[in-house]
């Protein structure tokens, strides 16, 4: 199988762009759909200063961008997240920080305070506030109009955890912010914490617990009745880190572990299931049906991150993720779970109509080898919006409903495409019910964009 460049584009290195920009009244091909008003926010890494040879893209400085839609017009803006780390390097006018999450590789002049907080993973909105998230740190709040950086956010001092996930979930019925902290105490021995804030952003739950081993938990799932924590065998060894090695290493001897607890219960109720040979990076959605919890996630048969070596220092072959359904039988004594791939759904960055988060749903979306795909869980149909001229350039799709009360899937898919051959980028707007058709509108930028990981749309 040929390397899946489109899928792996956000795993490797990338030449940084190193600029902030504003484009007023972007060039538009086609017509912006009536009623599409609001802002699309995206976050990703873009290293400000020359990086180390072989450095990984997830170590880059945070760059947040916005496409603001207003009555058929679109304005673009991008700004660095002005973290303590970035400001220290700007003051020194050079790179100060070394390997990803390894302070033992930093320059002696590098301030250690908040050294990992780049704010480069997710642009997330809750209760009218915008945040740049990074899973090993507290969020940075941003001005939603100017994108200028505000102080780090800790739920007004209520948060005890030192970390907040980059993949929180908003309950579409209650407005609650559900999240967790990975290595919440920075012991790096599997220390985690469940975190819940109400619709007004007040922290109402924080419960520490211990994972089976110190593995990564990049994303998680919440249903109306349960919470699911996937622990994957990319593990931390502090002795390795102190010796100047990598923060994570892939341990082929460990199974993926999935902890499930009742949502109205406690972390003391966590039950752990095993899924050997099934590495999960991202969750599309999940729901509970009686005594069964269904989780739809990208599942890889091996190491999903080829830049992460094994615990014995080997480099693994790239393995590709497929969106799959994992049914957890809570009324069974069996602690193993089966994996049912969705035929042909090879790719990453899975999304759904967020109004149906935590409940049974029908449609999912993702980036694929060919471009963008829509999955129909009822019929098993997979439709593709083909983009033959932009290998490696398609980024995460975001679904926006046509109206607040439109049926599931009736709306628009917004996703950015880097046209590398022409050194430019474009934001495509596709009818989510007719994804194989050409875009209804294309917003053009006169320059390429850094890789962005995750984002959100905030309606006006």
DSSP labels for 72-104? TEEEEEEEE---HHHHHHHHHTS----STT-GG
- pLDDT at residue 301 tops 50: yes
Whether 256 and 278 have beta carbons less than 8 Å apart is answered as yes
- pLDDT at residue 5 tops 70: no
Q: Could you please report the per-residue DSSP string of 400-412?
A: EESSTTPPTT-EE
Coil, helix or strand at residue 355: helix
- pLDDT at residue 13 tops 50: no
Over residues 288-295, the mean pLDDT reads 96
Cα-based distances in Å from 146 to 176, 346, 398, 445, 452: 26, 37, 21, 19, 19
pLDDT, one tens digit per residue, over 354-406 is 999 999 999 999 999 889 999 999 999 999 999 986 556 789 999 999 999 99
pLDDT of residue 6: 37
Is pLDDT larger for residue 4 or for residue 333? 333
Whether 237 and 302 have beta carbons less than 8 Å apart is answered as no
Query: What does the alpha-carbon distance between residue 297 and residue 440 come to, in Å, rounded to a whole number?
Result: 29
Q: What average pLDDT does the structure give for the chain?
A: 94
pLDDT of residue 7: 35
- pLDDT at residue 329 tops 60: yes
Phi, psi (degrees; rounded to nearest 5) at 356: -110, 15
Is pLDDT larger for residue 253 or for residue 4? 253
pLDDT, one tens digit per residue, over 192-232 is 999 999 999 999 999 999 999 999 999 999 999 999 999 99
pLDDT of residue 375: 98
As given in the structure block, the two tokens for residue 400 are 């926006």
- Reported confidence tier of residue 17, pLDDT bands at 50, 70, 90: confident
pLDDT of residue 420: 82
pLDDT, one tens digit per residue, over 117-142 is 999 999 999 999 999 999 999 999 99
pLDDT of residue 14: 62
- SS3 of 193-221: the string is EEEEECCCCCEEEEEEEECCCCEECCCCE
- pLDDT at residue 259 tops 70: yes
- pLDDT at residue 431 tops 50: yes
- Reported confidence tier of residue 1, pLDDT bands at 50, 70, 90: very low
As given in the structure block, the two tokens for residue 162 are 């030192």
- pLDDT at residue 55 tops 90: no
- pLDDT at residue 2 tops 80: no
Over residues 345-351, the mean pLDDT reads 96
- pLDDT at residue 8 tops 80: no
Over residues 53-63, the mean pLDDT reads 89
pLDDT of residue 365: 98
Query: What does the alpha-carbon distance between residue 100 and residue 57 come to, in Å, rounded to a whole number?
Result: 9
pLDDT of residue 304: 86
- Confirm whether pTM is higher than 0.85: yes
pLDDT of residue 107: 96
């Amino acid at each position: 199988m040929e390397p899946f460049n489109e899928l792996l584009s956000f795993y490797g290195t990338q030449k940084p762009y190193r600029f902030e920009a504003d484009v007023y009244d972007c060039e538009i091909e086609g017509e912006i759909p009536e009623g599409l008003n609001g802002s699309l926010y995206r976050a990703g890494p873009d290293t400000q200063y020359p990086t180390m040879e072989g450095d990984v893209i997830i170590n880059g400085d945070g760059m947040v961008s916005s496409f603001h839609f207003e009555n058929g017009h679109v304005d673009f803006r991008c700004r660095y997240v002005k973290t303590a780390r970035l400001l220290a390097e700007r003051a020194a006018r050079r790179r100060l920080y070394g390997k990803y999450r390894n302070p033992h590789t930093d320059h002696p002049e590098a301030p250690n305070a908040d050294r990992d907080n780049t704010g480069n993973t997710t642009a997330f909105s809750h209760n009218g506030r915008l945040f740049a998230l990074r899973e090993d740190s507290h969020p940075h709040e941003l001005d939603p109009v100017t994108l200028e950086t505000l102080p780090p956010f800790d739920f007004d001092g209520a948060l005890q955890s030192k970390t907040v996930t980059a993949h929180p979930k908003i309950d579409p019925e209650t407005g609650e912010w559900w999240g967790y902290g990975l290595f919440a105490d920075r012991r790096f021995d599997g220390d985690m914490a469940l975190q819940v804030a109400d619709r007004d952003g007040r922290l109402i739950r924080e419960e520490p617990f211990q994972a089976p081993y110190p593995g990564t938990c990049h994303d998680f799932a919440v249903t109306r009745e349960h919470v699911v924590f996937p622990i994957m065998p990319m593990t931390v060894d502090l002795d390795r880190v102190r010796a100047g090695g990598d923060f994570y290493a892939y341990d082929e001897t460990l199974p993926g572990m999935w902890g499930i607890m009742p949502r109205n219960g406690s972390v003391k109720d966590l039950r752990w299931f095993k899924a050997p040979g099934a590495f999960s990076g991202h969750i599309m959605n999940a729901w509970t049906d009686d005594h069964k919890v269904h989780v739809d996630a990208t599942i890889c048969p091996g190491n999903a991150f080829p830049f992460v070596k094994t615990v014995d220092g080997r480099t693994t072959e790239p393995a590709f993720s497929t969106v799959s359904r994992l049914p957890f039988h809570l009324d069974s004594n069996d602690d193993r779970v089966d994996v049912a791939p969705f035929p042909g759904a090879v790719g990453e960055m899975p999304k759904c109509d967020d109004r149906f988060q935590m409940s049974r749903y029908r449609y999912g979306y993702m980036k694929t080898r060919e471009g963008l795909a829509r999955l129909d869980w009822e019929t098993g149909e997979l439709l593709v919006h083909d983009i033959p001229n932009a290998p490696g350039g398609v980024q995460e799709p975001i679904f926006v409903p046509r109206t607040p009360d439109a049926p599931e899937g009736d709306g628009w898919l917004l996703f950015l495409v880097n046209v590398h051959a022409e050194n430019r980028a474009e934001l495509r707007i596709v009818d989510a019910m007719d994804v194989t058709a050409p875009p209804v509108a294309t917003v053009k930028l006169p320059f390429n964009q850094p890789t962005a990981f995750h984002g959100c749309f905030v309606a006006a």
